[in-house]
Amino acid sequence: MFLFLFALLYIVFQFANSKKGLERQEAQIEQLSQENEQLEQEKDSLVNLIGANSKFSLLNSDKAKMYIEDRDFQVQEFNGLIQSQILDQNSIDSDNPLVPYQGMEGNMAVNAIKLLNHKWGIAEFTDGKYWGELIFKYFINEDRTIDIEVADSFLYAN
């Protein structure tokens, strides 16, 4: 009889302990499911944002890519070539010649570039305190050199 009572208490203890563990795991699963749902919503909104921002991009325009490839350039190589050509004009002791403003707190330098299609690009420039943007046109010459010309620019009011 004593052994039966001991076995019964042991089974009840195991049942209660297992039930608490199961409830803890279910609560943890519920919490993780909510976090997963929230992260999925954030991911979807970021994907939509990226899709909207990549509409005007050389890398996402088939016609612009064909134009570049018809002139014997690879698109990734060409993108890097334009960016390096503009960034190489940044200098420690003078303004970038593409920036139509003189630096007031230092030298104006281009720090970000995005090619919109096979003819236009946009660049951001700064002297460390003042910021601006410019739209530029670029042309591929027959000898595979590239000419860059500023179409318009503005400087943000500080």
Tens-place pLDDT, residues 88-100: 888 888 888 888 8
pLDDT class of 53 with cuts at 50, 70, 90: low
Q: What is the 3-state secondary structure (H, E, C) of 24-56?
A: HHHHHHHHHHHHHHHHHHHHHHHHHHHHHHCCC
Say how many C-beta atoms besides its own lie within 10 A of residue 114's C-beta: 16
Angstrom distance (rounded) from CA 59 to CA 114: 10
Residue 31 has pLDDT above 80, yes or no: yes
Residue 102 has pLDDT above 80, yes or no: yes
Q: What are phi and psi of 30, to 5 degrees?
A: -65, -45
pLDDT of res. 51: 65
Angstrom distance (rounded) from CA 21 to CA 41: 30
Q: For the residues of 84-125, what is the DSSP string, one character each? A: HHHHTT--SSS--TT--S--SSS--EEEEEEE-SSSEEEEEE
* Residue length of the chain: 158
pLDDT of res. 147: 92
Residue boundaries of the structural domains of the chain: 1-53, 58-155
Residue 132 has pLDDT above 90, yes or no: yes
Higher pLDDT, 115 or 94: 115
pLDDT of res. 52: 60
Residue 101 has pLDDT above 90, yes or no: no
pLDDT of res. 124: 94
Average pLDDT over residues 122-144: 91
Measure the CA angle with vertex 46, ends 43 and 50; round to 5°: 140
List of residues 6+ apart from 121 with CB closer than 8 A: 82, 113, 114, 115, 135, 136, 138
Percent of the chain with pLDDT over 90: 36
Q: Lowest mean pLDDT: which of 22-31, 55-64, 66-75?
A: 55-64
